[in-house]
Amino acid sequence: MGVALVALEFDAQDPGRLAGFWAAVLGRRPDATGTRLPGLAGADFEVRFIPTSRAKSGLHRMHFDLTSDSEDDQRRRVELASSLGGRHRDVGQRGDEGHVVLADPEDNEFCVIEAGNRFLATTARIGALASDGMPEVGYFWSRALEWPLVWDENQETAIQSPRGGTKLTWGGPPVRPKTERNRLRWVLAAADRTREIERLCSLGAVMVNDLDDRAELADPEGNEFFVEGVVDPDGSPQA
C-alpha cells in the first residue's frame, strides 16, 4: 500500500448542522459525533466536518458534482437541498447547462448534474470532486494515489480509483487565484507515513506542517492535504 484516499475535510462554522445537511442530501447516516459521514461501497471516502470560526470568502477551488438517476430525481434532490437551507447560486453559469448550481447553508457551492451524464455514469452519488487546476496537478494526483487518468484532453484531466466511485477532476485554465487556506482538503492514509511523505514531495508536493499524528502538505498548485498514519487495531497510529 502507498497512500489511500480516506476522507475529505470540510471546514464548517456549525459542523453538526452542515453534517446533517449533507447526510440528508447524500443519503448517509452521521457517526456518533454527528460530524462525520462514513464512506460507502468501499471505493468512497468519509466526509469530516471540522469546526472553524472563519467565514467563507470567495468561490472554492473544489466542489461536489452530484449525480441524478432521472429528471425527477434531479428535481427532488434540488428541492430537498433547498428545504434544508440550500439555495441557488450564480457562479457565472449560462443557465442552459442541464446541471443546477446550488450552495449549502454555509455557501459551499455544489452542482446537481442532469441524468444521463455519460462522464459520471460509472461513479457514486458524489460523481466528482470538480476542481480548478492545470493538467500538471491532475498528473500529480494520478501518481500520488496511483489512480489512472480517465480523461486528459483540452487541458482538462480526471482520475478515478480502479475500484470505481467518485472521480477527481481538474478543469484546466483559468485557475482561480488562491487567496487563503482551502476549506476542503483531502486526507490520505499511509502505512509508512515517512516514506510516503518523501515520495509525495518528490512528485511535487511541499511540506506545510508536520505533526506527530498527521502531516499537512500542499500539492503543486498550493492545495493543502493531510497524510495520516494507518491506525493499528489497538488504536495507535503507525508512523
Nearest residue to 171 (alpha-carbon basis) of 100, 111, 81, 233: 111
Contacts of 23 (CB under 8 A, 6+ apart): 29, 30, 37
pLDDT digits (tens, 9 = 90+) for 2-35: 899 999 999 999 999 999 999 999 999 999 999 9
Mean of pLDDT values over 37-59: 86
The CA-CA-CA angle for residues 81, 69, 7, to 5°, reads: 60
Question: What is the CB neighbour count within 10 angstroms for residue 39?
Answer: 20
Contacts of 214 (CB under 8 A, 6+ apart): 187, 226, 227, 228, 229
Cell of 9: 475535510
What pLDDT was estimated at residue 49?
A: 97
Higher-confidence residue: 171 or 96? 171
What pLDDT was estimated at residue 43?
A: 60
Q: What are the angstrom distances between the C-alpha of 184 and each of 9, 11, 60, 138?
A: 6, 7, 8, 17
Contacts of 5 (CB under 8 A, 6+ apart): 45, 145, 161, 186, 187, 188
pTM for the model stands at: 0.91
Average predicted confidence (pLDDT) for the chain: 91
pLDDT digits (tens, 9 = 90+) for 163-181: 999 999 999 998 888 888 9
What pLDDT was estimated at residue 39?
A: 87
